[in-house]
Amino acid sequence: MRPLGFNVSRSVLGLWRYVPRLLHVLRTEGPIILSRKISRRLRVTSFAVPDRPKLIRLGRNFAPGVFPEQDTPDVSIVVPVHNLLSFTRHCLTALERYLGRYTFEVVVVDDCSDDATPTELPRWAQLRLITNTENLGFVRSCNRGADAAKGEYLVFLNNDTQVQSGWLDALIETFEQEPDAGLVGSRLIYPDGRQQEAGGIVFADGSTWNYGHLDDPFKPQYSYLREPDYLSGASLAIRRHLFKELGGFDELFAPGYYEDADLAFRVREAGYRVYYQPLSRVVHFEGVSAGIDEMASTGMKRFQVINRRKFLERWRPLLLSHGIRGEDLERQKERHIRRRALVVDVYMLTPDKESGSLRMTNLFGILQELGFKITFAAANLEAPEPYVSNLQKRGIECLYRPYVKSLGKHLKQQGGIYDLVILSRADAAAKVMPAARRYCANAKIVFDTVDLHFLRERRLAELSGNPATRGVADRRKRQELALIAEADSTLVVSEVERRILEVEVPDADVHLVSNIHRVFGSATPFRARRDIMFIGAFAHPPNLDAVLWLAREILPLIQAELSDLFCHIIGADPPPQIRALADERLKIWGYVPDVKPFFDSCRLSVAPLRYGAGIKGKMNQSLAYGLPVVATSQAAEGMFLVDGESVLLADDPRTFADSVIRLYRDEQIWNQLSQKGTEVIARHFSFTAAKRAIELLIGDRSS
């Protein structure tokens, strides 16, 4: 983004407090990443315009390109054209240069162009060209192109567009991620980077509005998957079989205008959903082909008024529930939403790095299934990629700087819209609770402990014998118990913690919502596996202690018996003392984007935690993949595991090492633990179990 008119000296001076962090970024990620982070920090201005999109520039020596030959393409891109050869060239060149997951063909329907289009288009290799013998107009030309298409998906694309990186992948992946998707449309932007449309709104009188018109497209309210009233036909995707079943664009709206809105309404009528996909970005030179004056008495634009009357007549009963033009656009942009939830956590969720984030991400899916629109914010209002985009593509609105200055101000302005507020982890809850209580008068406010921090700190104090650590535990306990008393309800992840709170805060409304996992089971038999693994992020102090204890006191005993055994340590941000442990048989991997190969190839997982609280995601994950675990009693607390049946428990180095050696060699006990472990996950840590608990929390069903 290009900041305009901000106070440079003030912004630069504000960076001094971040010097230690910036030096760390320089050492670990290099100068390019550092410069990007500084640029983001400098964007503290009240007004900014987005970066210009990448546009194709064609020189005088332009030569038509070559499209890949596709017998069975995934996608057919239908481009209707009438004159405007220069725009068509740029549109096709952007498509020809596009690289993505999905194969595609390009079907151009030339609707009786009288410029150089008829002689130019045949020069494009592998372009499927259909030439109309009479002028059919936009609607009939699109339908004719669709009839000739071979792809599983149809994408209708105006010739006055230029697609941007990732546009097609984002469109088609939406159908894979949302099985009920019937129609998916792109975010349209102007060549200067301003937003043209983020989905369309239809008002009660049949008039329409391009939501977000001329605004900054990076604002949170425009940047997540959403169900609008309709989507512009300038870039629109639909399954070919559904388009055919619906009879294509209705020729009642020929030659054009309102055919896209009518299609969206018919798609919903057929039981599907219509989605705006902001990650699919397309530059649209609006008005090039049809003009922009809807009151014109000649030309294509006049059909906007004519077809509005037809559309209103057809859909009048449904439109009676729509609002008045210009009234409360934020609610009208997603009028199907009936319940709204705000979730605040300490940091941006990183489900590939720590179990608390994975639990919350899975919890989002349950809340959405129960009809909630979710707005998420990290307490520090940071939004690192790819994590923010991963949430947005799931339909979760994310709040972030510089558009949201503080959560307190946001709640003062918007707190009344929320029906449910979940404040996750004590530090985030303490920061936001006062504003939530003051401004969210209609909401149930829930404190999600993730684990009882004071319990973990108290156990660390007992292990270390350090009086200062005991003082930290006492302060944390006062903080958490105060938050529990102030919240309407509290979530814990284990039955052990619920029993503790029954004593500490007997009047509190406490619900058990544990870790949430899908059960995969073992993909590899015992004899095809080797080695052992530990998994856990090192930002969590108990994991640091566990790996040091494992490497110094347990692993030498194991490797004395199993000389060819390797131990793999997986977890984000390993500190220097952990990296220093590495040798030829102890591998420190750090962050691993895809841990499934380790779960499928290692023979067992170890969880040698000596203190902590809550449910251990490292164990849930291993058991969900059918990978047996050797753990301490502390690590297995509250997990419904039985020693010798679904887990092996050991609390001293010698017993722990012997348990690993036994399980590593004994195929029979390995198979038993693999089966019983997955059964425990399915029974107690499934989506079904979590959904029942959330329904009780929000009062959707009786106990």
pLDDT in tens, 525-576: 999 999 999 999 898 889 999 999 999 999 999 999 999 999 999 999 899 9
User: CA 296 to CA 306: how far, in whole Å?
Assistant: 11
Looking up tokens 């301490």 gives 632
Q: What is the predicted pLDDT for the residue at 465?
A: 82
> Are 347 and 320 contained in the same domain?
no
Nearest CA among 263, 242, 239, 241 for reference residue 251: 263
> Are 269 and 369 contained in the same domain?
no
List, edge to edge, every strand of the sheet that includes 604-607: 586-590, 567-570, 532-535, 604-607, 629-631, 648-649
Q: Is residue 69 part of a domain?
A: no
Q: Is residue 305 part of a domain?
A: yes
Residue that finishes a domain, picked among 332, 364, 381: 332
Is residue 69 pLDDT above 70, yes or no? yes
Single-letter amino acid, residue 645 = E
What separation in angstroms does the CA of 309 have from each of 92, 231, 251? 35, 19, 15
> Are 500 and 570 contained in the same domain?
no
pLDDT digits (tens, 9 = 90+) for 464-481: 888 888 888 889 999 999
> Domain limits at 15?
2-47
**Residue 470 near residue 496, CB atoms below 8 Å:** no
Q: What is the predicted pLDDT for the residue at 26?
A: 52
> Are 615 and 634 contained in the same domain?
yes
Q: Across the strands, what pairs with 399?
A: 377
Looking up tokens 């859909």 gives 315
Single-letter amino acid, residue 678 = T
What separation in angstroms does the CA of 485 have from each of 66, 507, 509, 613, 667? 67, 8, 9, 20, 50
Q: Which long-range contacts (CB under 8 A, 24 or more apart) does 30-38 make?
A: none
Nearest CA among 131, 168, 167, 134 for reference residue 153: 168
Q: What is the predicted pLDDT for the residue at 646?
A: 95
User: CA 476 to CA 491: how far, in whole Å?
Assistant: 17
pLDDT confidence band for 299 (50 / 70 / 90): low
pLDDT confidence band for 38 (50 / 70 / 90): low
> Are 352 and 297 contained in the same domain?
no
> Are 14 and 148 contained in the same domain?
no
Buried b (16+ CB within 10 A) or exposed e, 171-203: bbbbbeebeebbbbbbbbbbeebbbbbbbbbbb
* Count of structural domains, the chain: 4
pLDDT confidence band for 163 (50 / 70 / 90): very high
> Are 359 and 293 contained in the same domain?
no
Task: Please report, rounded to a whole number, the percentage of residues in the chain having pLDDT higher than 90.
Answer: 73
Burial label for 127, CB within 10 Å (0-12, 13-18, 19+), is buried
pLDDT digits (tens, 9 = 90+) for 602-635: 999 999 999 888 788 889 999 999 999 999 999 9
Which has more confidence, 459 or 553?
A: 553
What average pLDDT does the structure give for the chain?
A: 88
Q: What is the predicted pLDDT for the residue at 7?
A: 33
> Are 144 and 113 contained in the same domain?
yes
Average pLDDT of span 127-131: 95
pLDDT digits (tens, 9 = 90+) for 566-610: 999 999 989 999 999 999 899 999 999 899 999 999 999 999 999
Helix (H/G/I), strand (E/B), else coil: 273: strand
Q: Is residue 579 part of a domain?
A: yes
Q: Is residue 64 part of a domain?
A: no
What separation in angstroms does the CA of 495 have from each of 37, 498, 620? 42, 5, 16
Which 8-state DSSP code applies to residue 553?
I
User: CA 444 to CA 370: how far, in whole Å?
Assistant: 15
Q: Is residue 578 part of a domain?
A: yes
Q: Is residue 521 part of a domain?
A: no
Q: What CATH number is associated with residue 253?
A: 3.90.550.10
What separation in angstroms does the CA of 22 have from each of 19, 35, 149, 338, 575? 5, 9, 52, 43, 18
pLDDT confidence band for 46 (50 / 70 / 90): very low
What CA dihedral angle connects 691, 693, 696 and 698, to 10 degrees? -70
pLDDT confidence band for 429 (50 / 70 / 90): very high
> Are 287 and 350 contained in the same domain?
no
Q: Count CA atoms within 13 Å of residue 213 on its CB side.
A: 10
User: CA 288 to CA 38: how far, in whole Å?
Assistant: 39
Q: Across the strands, what pairs with 619?
A: none
Q: What is the predicted pLDDT for the residue at 20?
A: 53
User: CA 367 to CA 419: how far, in whole Å?
Assistant: 12
> Are 137 and 217 contained in the same domain?
yes
Give me the helices (H) in 400-540, please. Answer: 407-414, 426-439, 453-464, 467-486, 495-504
User: CA 469 to CA 611: how far, in whole Å?
Assistant: 13
Q: Is residue 668 part of a domain?
A: yes
Residue that finishes a domain, picked among 332, 363, 396: 332
Q: At what angle do helices 137-148 and 259-269 cross, to 10 degrees?
A: 50
Looking up tokens 């018919």 gives 266
Is residue 653 pLDDT above 80, yes or no? yes
> Are 419 and 493 contained in the same domain?
yes
Q: What is the predicted pLDDT for the residue at 21?
A: 55
Task: Please report, rounded to a whole number, the percentage of residues in the chain having pLDDT higher than 70.
Answer: 90
Q: What CATH number is associated with residue 629?
A: 3.40.50.2000
Q: Is residue 218 part of a domain?
A: yes
**Residue 604 near residue 670, CB atoms below 8 Å:** yes
> Are 211 and 277 contained in the same domain?
yes
